Every structure is written in C-alpha cells, then in structure tokens.
Structure 1
Amino acid sequence: MTSATPDSGRVTGLEGAVVAVAGAGGPAGHAVLLRLAEAGAVVVGADADPARLAEGVDAARFAHGGATVTGDTVDLLSLDETRAWAHRTEQEFGRVDGLVHLVGGWRGAASFAATELGDWDVLEDLLIRTVQHTSLAFEDALNRSGNGRFLLVSAAGASKPTAGNAAYAAAKSAAEAWTLALADAFRKTGAEEGPRAAAAILVVKALVHEAMRRDKPQAKFSGFTDVADLADAVAGAWSKPTEEVNGHRLWLTPKP
C-alpha cells in the first residue's frame, strides 16, 4: 500500500489514512475496525453502545499492536453531535479519509397488510437519518482528503422489495438515493478534474458472523456475506481510482 504523496499529503491507500466508522459496535463494525487497523489506517469508531464499541476497539488494538483505534459514543440521530464528531476527528488527526456507515436495523411483517407504520418510524431514524447526518457532517472533510470515501452498506432487498419488507426496503432505498446524491455532489465539486472523494454502496443480502453460525450450525446462510468479507470490500474501496468508485454499487451477493 502507498502512503501520502510528498507534495500534497494526499493519502492514496489506507496506510496512514484516517477512517471513521459509524455503527462500529456490532459484528460488522468489529470486523471493519480489525481490517482497517490491519491495513495501517487510523480508525475512529462511533456507536451509541459504549460497551460494544469498547469491545471492538480493544480487539482491534490487541490484534494489531501499535495501531491507532479509538472510540466515541455518538448519538448519530443528532446532527450537532455528528458534526462535532467529524470536527473533533479532523482536528485531532489532521484529516478524514473515510466514513463507513454500518448503522443497521430491521423490522418486517408477515404480509404487506400487516405492516406496522411504527416500524417505518424506527427504520427512518436508523437507516436514513443517520446516513443524512454522517454525510452532511463529513462531506467537506472527505473532499479535503483528496481520496475520501463514504461507504454505505445496503441490502439487495432495496432493489427488489418483498411484501413483508416494505418499510425496510423503502428505507434502504432512500438511504441509497441519498448516498448517490452525495456522489453527484462529489462529481460536481471535482468538475473537470474528477471527484476528489467517492460515495458508494456495498450491497449484501444479509450479513453473517461466527456467533450466528454457532447458534445455528445447520443453517446454510445462502447468499449471506461474512462480515470479514464485507470488511475486505470496505478496505478495497481505497485501492481503486476515485472515479471508478463514486456513484457505484458493489454487489457482494448475486443481484436479485
């Protein structure tokens, strides 16, 4: 991996990059913290659950001695708190080269008619509002990076909604649209020189991790993406030219 160019300080790989991870307390967050630390990045995780966040931060530090991995308890439903997190991160480390959005949640119903609109209220906050806040808070810093990445993890169901997943699929679809709008903003800011940052979507059917396999040893988890593979895909986003990442969906499961 390469590091900064001598004249601009522009990070062209993950060595020395500063990457923020929203929703870092879950299994996917723990895997991404580990992978980014392994690649030499400075990793700044955030989660609403301080205990789960600390577990992931400690594991990444232990696995990769010398890596800088920190954690902040942030309410991503507050735009002010999210902006403060972005500002604090850039002030402390001098740059922000990535925001990985892993905040998730699921609500479903037995049928379309059985859909509870209260589920939409929950998912709107978890899956849409947090994307809005992180993107608005980190856009400028990612542009200043010169090789920034905003990565949203989404679900194949957004492209092919099912009757019982109306609220979930609609929320995921809205989050994708918002992310693609950010990609267009990066494109317009870069003008003829091309985007200086990229917003992209990593699409999975669902995620699986070791605890799930232990709990259901007979389950096949067909089409699921292991959190370690997701983490590899996240890390790989910095190895491609920015214009090849910006505004694209990376499918980690077969298209529906």
Structure 2
Amino acid sequence: MTINGKGSLDGAVVAVAGAGGPAGRAALLRLAQAGATVVGSDADAERLAEAVDAARYAHGGATVTGDIVDLLDLDATREWAARIEKEFGRVDGLIHLVGGWRGSKTFADAPLAHWDTLHDLLIRTVQHTSLAFHDALERAGNGRYVLISAAGASKPTAGNAAYAAAKAAAEAWTLALADAFRKEGGEAGPKAAAAILVVKALVHDAMRAERPNAKFAGFTDVKDLADAIVGVWDRPAEEVNGNRLWLTPRP
C-alpha cells in the first residue's frame, strides 16, 4: 500500500462491516474515492448490493465488492477475513459500523431483553471481527481497526443503560486489541492500530429530508465520519493506536 499524500489509500484493501447502512454507504464511497479496494459486508443483501453499486457507479474503476457474512458466527467471520486476504493479497483495515439502538423512557422500565440484542449487535460482532482480522492487519504493516462508538458510552443516561453499557464494552475490547498491537510491536512500535471514532449520533440526507426543521445539534454527518475513517491512515500507527478520536465535544 502506498499513501500518496493526505487522504490517499492507493493499493489499500479495506473491509467494512455493516456496509449496508447510511454510514456504511458513505464509507464505501469515500474509501473508493481514496483509491482503496473495498469489501463490504452486511446481513441485508439488498441494502448491501445498493451500497456497493452506488460506490462503483460514483467511482468508475474502483474495486468495491460485497459479501453476506454472519458476524455472529466467529468461523464465518474468520473465513471472510481469510478470503479477502487470499483474493487481494492483504487487508489494511477493518471498519466496524455494525450498529443498533434500544432505549427506554426510564431506567426502571428498561427491558433486559434490550441488553441481549445489543450484546450481539454491538459487542459480539466487535469480538469476532477483531479476532478474525487481527493477524491480517498486523501482516499488512500499517493496518487499522476502527470502531465507531457513541459519546453516551462515557456518560450513560437513564434511558440508554443497555446501549451505553454495550458501547462501553465494545470500546474496552477495542482498546485491549490496541494494547495487543502495542505489545506485539515491541520497541519498533505497533505495526497496526486500533482506534475509536466517537460521535454523539449520526445524521444523513434522508434524515434531514424527513425532519427539515430539526437541527441535529452535535450530530456527525455520515460523510464527515467517512472522511475521519480515511484520516486514521494519515497519522502513524503509534499516534492512533489506543485512542478515542472525538468527532463531537466530550460529554
């Protein structure tokens, strides 16, 4: 992989988990624009196909593909990582955009079933992608594992207990991956980096169209998030590894 100036990922191979949503779609577009070969995954085949087609159409000549992968299955996730590396020769990044939200009006009426759902969506998928891609990211020499998290993980609110707790657990797991990269790099420094991009919430054009009078104060546009994702390669692995990179004011 060669980085020819800020924002260029010529020759890089980047996997995007949760590529079918608005943030995933923006990430596919921006990564393709930066010159990367992009491999997206999603549980929704129709959404994934639309996102992949949009990125290909917007950036003629870009290599953008999609795979339906059950990220709740560790073996299937490992097979996905191995398949990407075998086909393209390397994996330079895993962008984790698998999301989900559950909340309640008060703390006391929070259904514990919400935790079960969010545990799978927000924690288990992080565990599986990090374990599956760890070796390949190190082999790439400048790999990046990027988790998208929420400010609420640092300041939980009464109605968001399950969501905030799940996000905090996902952050802790990602920081443990960062520590592994640090230790494995030794005196030379980490060969790969795990970082967390923190937002208050995300907004996209369809949301604005549905609520034209809403201000979405403090929200991060998915296009700006995509720029920040590409930007994690602009700094050395040692500077990025183990850091929360805030795209919204700290709570």
Same fold (TM over 0.5): yes
- 1:43 and 2:38 are equivalent in the alignment: yes
Residue equivalent to 2:166: 171
The alpha-carbon deviation at position 3 of structure 1 amounts to 1.3
**32, 47, 55: which is aligned to 1:52?**
47
**Scaled by the length of structure 2, what TM-score is found?**
0.98
After superposition, the Cα gap between the structure-2 partners of 1:164 and 1:193, relative to the gap in structure 1 and judged at 3 Å, is same
Residue equivalent to 2:243: 248
The CA deviation string for residues 80-139 of structure 1, in whole angstroms up to 9 with x for no partner, is 110000000000000000000000000001111011000000000000000000000000
Could you tell me which runs of 5 or more consecutive residues in structure 2 were left unpaired when the two chains were aligned.
Answer: none
- What code does the residue aligned with 1:206 have? A
* Secondary structure class of the residue paired with 1:211: helix
Flag as ranges the 4+ runs of structure 1 deviating above 3 A.
none
Kept in 1: contact 2:37–2:63 (CA 8 A): yes
Alpha-carbon distance between aligned partners in 2 of 1:74 and 1:25, rounded to the nearest angstrom: 12
- 1:83 and 2:78 are equivalent in the alignment: yes
The alpha-carbon deviation at position 13 of structure 1 amounts to 5.3
Residue equivalent to 2:66: 71
**122, 147, 158: which is aligned to 1:127?**
122
Residue equivalent to 1:152: 147
- What code does the residue aligned with 1:3 have? T
* Secondary structure class of the residue paired with 1:221: coil
How many residues align? The count is: 249
CA RMSD of aligned residues (A): 1.3
Could you tell me which runs of 5 or more consecutive residues in structure 1 were left unpaired when the two chains were aligned.
Answer: 6-11
- What code does the residue aligned with 1:71 have? G
Kept in 1: contact 2:8–2:35 (CA 8 A): no
Q: Percent identity?
A: 76
- 1:32 and 2:27 are equivalent in the alignment: yes
Alpha-carbon distance between aligned partners in 2 of 1:241 and 1:4, rounded to the nearest angstrom: 12
**132, 136, 148: which is aligned to 1:137?**
132
The alpha-carbon deviation at position 59 of structure 1 amounts to 0.4
**Scaled by the length of structure 1, what TM-score is found?**
0.96
Alpha-carbon distance between aligned partners in 1 of 2:183 and 2:103, rounded to the nearest angstrom: 37
* Secondary structure class of the residue paired with 2:77: helix
